[in-house]
Structure 1
Amino acid sequence: MTANLLPQELPRSAWQSALRGACNRCPSCGREHLFFKFLKPISRCGSCGQDWAHQQADDFPAYLAILVTGHVLAPLIIALVNHTDLPVWGLMALIVSLALVMMLAMLQPAKGAIIATQWWLGMHGFEKPPRPSEKPKSETD
């Protein structure tokens, strides 16, 4: 439901929509928060009325956070092991702490971006929003 939106409020691209979601903003209007709890999205935007109940991000945000964490930490772990004299317990404490912080920091932005992308593409029951180059349906009738 995007009838309440002015055309300039809609995102111009999937990237802009995903960025709004990653920043915990409604991907449709960019005004309201997308999450009311850490990983629990709102059911409907209070500003534009967009229904977010259709989202099905499932485990994909966790997979993305694990993938990024692993790729960032792998070279760091290799460098720490090869170039420092830290004891094993010190390395483990440092690596596990960094991994937990990175994972927790990435989960909500990843979920917001995925929800926004699903909405932009019209997946899982979302109505595909009008694109900037398209005229709204009411004007073409």
Structure 2
Amino acid sequence: MSSEDNPKSEGQPETASAALFGLCPRCGAKTLFDGMVKFAPRCRACGLDYSQFNVGDGPAAFLTLIVGAVIAILAIWLQLSFEPPFWVHAILWVPLTTVLVIAGLRIAKAWLLGAEYRRRAGEGRLKDE
């Protein structure tokens, strides 16, 4: 396999680093996001078009279920172990859930886009003939 066939080359970040820091999967510039969880239209450094990748709602659905299960288990454990008043639950779990979902969503979306780039996945399109 030649270097032209393989999208992995010098200067590209590993998938985990790209996901954690919002790095472009091609050049490693910190240009992947244009907000908290919204992708930029393209990399400002190398011009990679991020809209060609279809991340979809998969990361949001799975992340919400996973974070919800973890928070529910912790809330039940806290209630059964210490019986705190309701306001303690509200102050503790609402912000923690919000932070975990937003931070996790950013990482999950970046991870999936990086994986699609490395595997040359994209929207299914017919070639112009």
TM-score range, shorter chain: 0.7 to 0.9
CA distance in 2, matches of 1:60, 1:93: 29
For the structure 1 residues 60 and 22, does the alpha-carbon distance in structure 2 shift closer, same or farther, using more than 3 Å as the test? farther
Q: 2:71 aligns to what?
A: 73
Q: Which amino acid aligns with 1:123?
A: A
1:24 Cα deviation after fit: 0.9
| Gap regions ≥5 residues in structure 1 | 127-141
Give the paired residue count.
Answer: 120
Per the TM alignment, residue 73 of structure 1 is displaced from its structure 2 partner at its CA by 1.8
Aligned counterparts of 2:121 and 2:8: Cα–Cα separation in 1: 22
Q: Go from structure 1 to structure 2 and tell me whether the alpha carbon gap of 1:9 and 1:125 turns closer, same or farther (over 3 Å shift).
A: farther
Q: 2:29 aligns with which of 28, 31, 34?
A: 31
Runs of 4+ with deviation above 3 angstroms: none
Contact 1:31 1:47 survives alignment (8 Å) = yes
1:90, distance to aligned residue in structure 2 (A):
3.0
Q: The residue matched to 1:7 in structure 2 has which SS?
A: coil
Identity level (%): 29
> How far apart are the structure 2 equivalents of 1:68 and 1:48?
35
Q: TM-score, normalised to structure 1's length? A: 0.69
Among 28, 38, 41, the alignment partner of 1:40 is 38
* CA-atom RMSD in angstroms: 2.7
Q: TM-score, normalised by structure 2?
A: 0.74
1:18 and 1:27 in contact (8 A); partners too: no
Deviations 1:29-84 (A, max 9, x none): 11232012222212222222322121211212212321331343233122201111
Aligned residue number for residue 9 of structure 1: 11
> Which AA in structure 2 matches 1:53?
S
Structure 2: stretches of 5+ with no match in the other structure = 125-129
